[in-house]
Amino acid sequence: MSSQEGVRDLVNSAVESLSQVIPRVTQIYPPKAFQQTETQIEMSVLIGITGEVSGRIVLEGESPAFSKLGEAMFGMPLEGEMLHSCVGEIANMIAGKTSSILFQKGHKIDITPPTVVVGKFQMFGFEKGISVLVHIADVGEVNMILLLQQ
């Protein structure tokens, strides 16, 4: 697939995946360019994408929002290491579902195991960034960033 087509399909598939995996999504804001290199939020998960499109899926949010999201999805409030593991798994589900939706569109990508980062950090080595802000009822906001290497 062309890189432009690949980026478009990846963004659309990731947005579709968000609404399928995360319950009670009330609003998905339009994708916008991500240009800053430093994340602004305290907890992030990075999952690598390889294949027809390569890059990273980053899910970022505040701990209380992720804790409420874990409770909404799995029925229990979480903190500490179990919260980090849960957040990694939620991102894994979003990336896995994204790859399944892309596969149905005729594209093949693979994903890496998630890396959870606590604290702000800087990201380099991507050519294009797209962020999608999601509002979830009773949880708050979570931001998904797609970092693409073309």
Partner 1 sequence: MGNILVVDDAAFMRMMIKDILQKGGHTVVGEAGDGSEAITKYKELHPDLVTMDITMPVMEGTEAVRQIKAAYPKAKIIMCSAMGQQGMVVQAIQAGALDFIVKPFQADRVLESVERALK
Residues that bind partner 1 (CB under 8 A): 21, 70, 73-74, 78, 81-82, 85-86, 88-89, 92-93, 95-97, 99-100, 103-104, 108, 111-114
Q: Which residues contact 35 (CB under 8 A, 6 or more apart)?
A: 129
Give the count of beta carbons closer than 10 Å to the beta carbon of residue 71.
15
Taking the C-alpha atoms of residue 1 and residue 144, their distance in angstroms, rounded to an integer, is 23
Please, which residue, 82 or 118, has the CB nearer to partner 1?
A: 82
- Shortest approach of partner 1 to residue 85 CB, angstroms? 4
Please, which residue, 34 or 139, has the CB nearer to partner 1?
A: 139
- Shortest approach of partner 1 to residue 36 CB, angstroms? 28
- Report the sign of the C-alpha dihedral through residues 108, 33, 45, 98, in that order: negative
3-state secondary structure of 117: strand
- Shortest approach of partner 1 to residue 4 CB, angstroms? 23
Please, which residue, 78 or 142, has the CB nearer to partner 1?
A: 78
Please, which residue, 45 or 129, has the CB nearer to partner 1?
A: 45
135 secondary structure, DSSP code: E
Residue 36 tokens, joined:
């800053």
Please, which residue, 104 or 122, has the CB nearer to partner 1?
A: 104
3-state secondary structure of 126: coil
Taking the C-alpha atoms of residue 77 and residue 68, their distance in angstroms, rounded to an integer, is 7
- Shortest approach of partner 1 to residue 40 CB, angstroms? 25
- Shortest approach of partner 1 to residue 74 CB, angstroms? 6
